[in-house]
Amino acid sequence: MTRQRTQPPDAVFLEMLRAARELLAVRSPLDAELIVSEMLGTWWGKRLVHDDVEEVVGEALVEHAAKARTPAALALLTGIAYLGTPRQAAKAEQAALTLMEAGVARPGWAGRVGVVVPDQCFVSRDVYGDQDSVVCTYTYAGEEHHALVVVVDHNERGMVVDAWVSSQVDKLLGYCRKEAEDNPLMCFEPIPGSRARVLLEKALAITDEIEDPPVKDTFGSYHAFVRARMRALPPGGRRTPPTAYSHDRRATMAAQFLASDEAEGLSDRSAASRCVDRIIDYGCDYDFGRPLRVSPVKCETFLLHHLPRKVMLSPGEQDAMPHVLAAWVRWASKRTRLHEEGVRQTLDKVWDITGKFAEAYRDPTTFGLDRELVERLLPDGDLEALARRAFAFPFLTAGNADIDLTRLDPADDHDRRKLLKFEHPDHDHEHIETHLRLAKRLWNGDPPQLWTIAEYLLDKGHDRHDILHRFMVILDEVGDDPRALRAALRGLRDEV
């Protein structure tokens, strides 16, 4: 049976074609490209349950424009042929040629759309390594000099978070150079176009992969423009892979720190050792293999967002963590030769937020939860997993004459089966195995949407048993296809 594709109503496309009339009033190819990019950006970041939004909306818009056979439709197709996805561009180019052969008038700028030549590339960055502003300049065969500025945030997984365009290139470059001259914590330097392309390709891919990326509100309007201008840069740049830190290498770094003058004043050496392990792991696993990088923003993110959400700390570690982090800032900054003003600002930030850390970090044992029970659910210290793992295995204490639940390890498959059989004594082996598959996914947070949808359904008043069985039906239907699983979960959310 062929599934019917869901498309927006024709009125949506008619409105877009009416908006495309604005393309007939502009003279500059740059203005035209920005208008088309904004139109394509109206659905950027949206997700459909079963279909690709670019195919359903973008390619359907091309088809409607082809049927319209108006100058505005041809102008829109011309822009999409340059700015669209590869499939959109191919369809738009063919449709535009058909309209031109039929005598539909082209706008004056049409012959120059996409005929851009890269000029220079620069990067403006802070000495901490928090953000890169990549500045790429272009011309249309020597005319209409313009700059594209793309902001890459390394505290947000290295994704693109903002972009804009300026036609005042000299003024922009002058401002960047002066900022670097006046501020010792900023630098501005030229980079090869191929290097800029590699940096942007990687960062834009991260943005596109995330379901709800934390980008500026206007970014969608520039997304297609950024993608097209990125492709205009010369290829051939090499990606620098993150530095790999083995367990032994991390342990050696921790030992060097603990033996340093900076760590000498730490009173609880045992807690300090565990804290520095957390700091190093965060830099290696969440900051692209850069444990020695320190900054006010990174320290704030670590203390107020990462630890309270991800890490189970003992009371001693909670007290020691800000002091260990401050000592780490002093020690690491010597090795990276961070400017003294940068060190001062980073230390100020650590002490400013120490009180907030105590408020932000919520030790689950303070809510009456038994620490031994919490540790059984969090053998990896992943505090974020506590609620979803307790949802998957609510019976971990007591038992009956045949089984002592307190002796079972919910991280072990064999013990998991026993826990599930205790909860479902009247169900067959196949049913228990499906429960086990689901419990594994909840335990690992794979995919994250599983627990997000579970929380949503709980808030809507659905009971745990109903939610689990809805998930089990989905698992049976989609198998191991991750994309189909995520789509089915979104569909479940939309149903209720």
Position 237 in a domain: no
β-strand partners of 146: 138
User: Do residues 440 and 347 share a domain?
Assistant: no
Whole domain around residue 130: which residue ranges? Answer: 117-232
User: Which of 45, 49, 43 is closest to 6 using CA atoms?
Assistant: 49
Each residue's pLDDT expressed in tens, for the chain with a length of 496 residues: 334 445 556 788 888 899 999 999 999 999 999 999 999 998 887 766 555 677 778 888 999 999 999 999 999 999 999 999 999 999 999 999 999 999 999 999 999 998 999 999 999 999 999 999 999 999 998 999 999 999 999 999 899 999 999 999 999 999 999 999 999 999 999 999 999 999 999 999 999 988 789 999 999 999 999 999 999 999 987 777 777 899 999 999 999 999 999 999 999 999 999 999 999 999 999 998 999 999 999 999 999 999 988 888 888 999 999 999 999 999 999 999 999 999 999 999 999 999 999 888 877 776 667 888 888 999 988 888 998 999 999 888 877 767 888 889 999 999 999 999 998 888 888 999 999 999 999 999 999 889 999 998 998 889 999 999 999 999 998 887 888 888 888 888 767 6
Tell me if 366 is assigned to some domain: no
Do 94 and 128 belong to one domain?
no
Q: Are residues 396 and 410 in the same domain?
A: yes
Do residues 186 and 103 both lie within one domain?
no
- What backbone phi and psi angles, to 5 degrees, belong to 450? -60, -50
Pick the last residue of a domain from 207, 232, 257. Answer: 232
pLDDT at 354: 96
Collapse the DSSP code of 42 into the 3-class scheme (helix H, G, I; strand E, B; otherwise coil) and give the result: coil
pLDDT at 138: 98
Same domain membership, residue 263 and residue 219: no
State residue 7's pLDDT score.
Answer: 56
Judgement on whether residues 102 and 122 belong to the same structural domain of the protein: no
Report if residue 71 sits inside a domain: yes
Residue 33 amino acid letter: E
Q: Is residue 382 part of a domain?
A: no
Sheet holding 159-166, edge to edge: 159-166, 143-153, 131-140, 117-126, 186-190
Looking at the fold, whether 105 and 127 belong to one and the same domain comes out as no
Indicate the residue type of 31: D
Identify the pLDDT of residue 368.
Answer: 67
Closest CA to 322 of 291, 297, 293, 355: 355
In a domain, 188, yes or no: yes
Number of domain units in the chain? 4
Tokens 């990687």 locate to 202
User: Would you tell me how many other CB atoms lie within 10 Å of the CB of residue 464?
Assistant: 13
Q: Return the exposure string of 221-245: e unless at least 16 CB atoms fall within 10 Å of the residue's CB, then b.
A: bbbbbbbbbbebbeeebeeeeeeeb
The token pair at 138 is: 């272009």
DSSP code of residue 382: B
- pLDDT at position 496 is 64
Q: Are residues 228 and 121 in the same domain?
A: yes
Domain membership of residue 461 (yes or no) is yes
Same domain, 278 and 292: yes
- Answer yes or no: is 352 within a domain: yes
